[in-house]
Amino acid sequence: MSNIEERVKKIIIEQLGVKEEEVKAEASFENDLGADSLDTVELVMALEEEFETEIPDEEAEKIKTVQAAIDYVKAHSDD
């Protein structure tokens, strides 16, 4: 399980160019991590690739925080 968490955080760090300690569970991409809406779209694209899944637009719109991303991936991945 922690594996998923680490992979998600690693992607967030890479995509948004933020420091590891900033990527707290409750951190919001746009409010805390300086992402704009397009960065968030790209972040979802990167998650889709890493976890080989397709995230529908209406789900993607709900992924606004680190925890939401981790939760989504955990709920939808088989590993």
Partner 1 sequence: MSLENKVALVTGASRGIGKAIAQQLVAAGAKVIGTATSENGAAAISEYLGDNGKGMALNVTDSEQVAEVLKAIEEQFGSIDILVNNAGITRDNLMMRMKEDEWDSVIETNLTAVFRLAKAVIRGMMKRREGRIINISSVVGTTGNPGQVNYCAAKAGLTGFTKSLAKEVAARGITVNCVAPGFIDTDMTKALTEEQKSAIFANIPAARLGAPEEVAAAVAFLASPGAAYITGETIHVNGGMAMI
Which positions touch partner 1 (CB under 8 A)? 38, 42, 45
Q: Which residue has the tokens 């779209």?
A: 41
* Distance in Å, CB of 73 to partner 1, minimum: 19
Catalytic residue among 36, 39, 78, 79: 36
For residue 46, the minimal CB distance to partner 1 (Å) is 9
Torsion, Cα 17 63 6 19, to 10 degrees, reads: 20
Nearer of residues 25 and 49 to partner 1, judged by Cβ: 49
Which of 25/45 has CB closer to partner 1? Answer: 45
Residue 36 annotated among the catalytic residues of the structure: yes
Q: Please answer whether residues 35 and 29 qualify as being in contact, where contact means their C-beta atoms are separated by less than 8 angstroms.
A: yes
Residue 72 gets which letter from DSSP?
A: H
Residue located via tokens 């992979």: 7
Q: Catalogue the active-site residues.
A: 36
